[in-house]
């Protein structure tokens, strides 16, 4: 990409030089040297707006520019939401594991007890509705990310990648994730 830009800039500079006819195409050799001067226009100081005027024009253009036009032009699809949700759940899971791991390492120096037995005993003291809801909310990112990961591994084998199959498997992952998260919550 950089080499292409450098080549384009070099050709543009070459075309603006007065001796560009030396490198012109054979069809252009019959033309006069003044033909190359027609393409060149020098900007005058009166014709160029000030920097403040340029800035004002740019600010006006930015106010009218949509933030993300693809969100308003195209119809939302399940693949968009599942792609975003897969990334979000991956970040939540890895962030949660790192945070708990750091807490587990720091806890003895602070005098906190975050061992499994202590967490299970304190969790068992919660009301049943709150415990089941919390377990389902914790289980959903894990189940969704795992099932959607299997879906992506299936795509890596170049199977089930038609539009209809992608949509169908997407909804299947959503329903299976919800069902498995609720199932895990009642364990």
The model's confidence at residue 168, banded by pLDDT at 50, 70 and 90, is very high
pLDDT of residue 12 exceeding 70 = yes
Between CA 186 and CA 115 the distance in angstroms is 22
For residues 128 and 28, the model is more confident at: 128
- Which residue, 70, 100, 99, 92, is CA-closest to 142? 92
Between CA 12 and CA 35 the distance in angstroms is 16
Between CA 5 and CA 126 the distance in angstroms is 64
pTM here is: 0.61
Domain boundaries, the chain: 79-186
Write down the residue that tokens 């329903």 correspond to: 175
pLDDT digits (tens, 9 = 90+) for 107-152: 999 999 999 899 899 988 999 999 999 999 999 999 999 999 999 9
What is the fold, at CATH topology level, of the domain defined by 79-186? Answer: 3 helical TM bundles of succinate and fumarate reductases (1.20.1300)
Vertex 23 angle, CA 21 and 27, to 5°: 70
> Per-residue b/e over 148-166, b at no fewer than 16 CB within 10 Å?
beebeeeeeeeeeeeeeeb
């Amino acid at each position: 990409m950089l080499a292409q830009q450098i080549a384009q800039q070099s050709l543009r500079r070459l075309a603006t030089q007065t001796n560009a006819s030396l490198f012109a195409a054979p069809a252009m050799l019959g033309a006069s040297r003044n033909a190359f001067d027609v393409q060149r226009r020098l900007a005058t100081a009166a014709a160029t707006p000030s920097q403040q005027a340029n800035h004002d024009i740019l600010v006006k253009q930015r106010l009218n520019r949509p933030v993300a036009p693809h969100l308003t032009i195209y119809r939302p699809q399940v693949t968009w939401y599942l792609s975003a949700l897969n990334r979000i759940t991956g970040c939540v899971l890895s962030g949660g594991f790192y945070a708990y791991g750091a807490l587990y390492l720091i806890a003895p120096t602070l005098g906190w007890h975050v061992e499994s037995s202590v967490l299970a005993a304190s969790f068992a003291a919660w009301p049943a509705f709150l415990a089941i809801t919390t377990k389902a909310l914790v289980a959903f990112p894990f189940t969704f990310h795992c099932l959607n990961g299997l879906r992506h591994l299936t795509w890596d084998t170049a199977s089930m990648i038609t539009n209809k199959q992608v949509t169908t498997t997407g909804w299947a992952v959503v329903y299976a994730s919800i069902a498995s998260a609720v199932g895990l919550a009642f364990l």
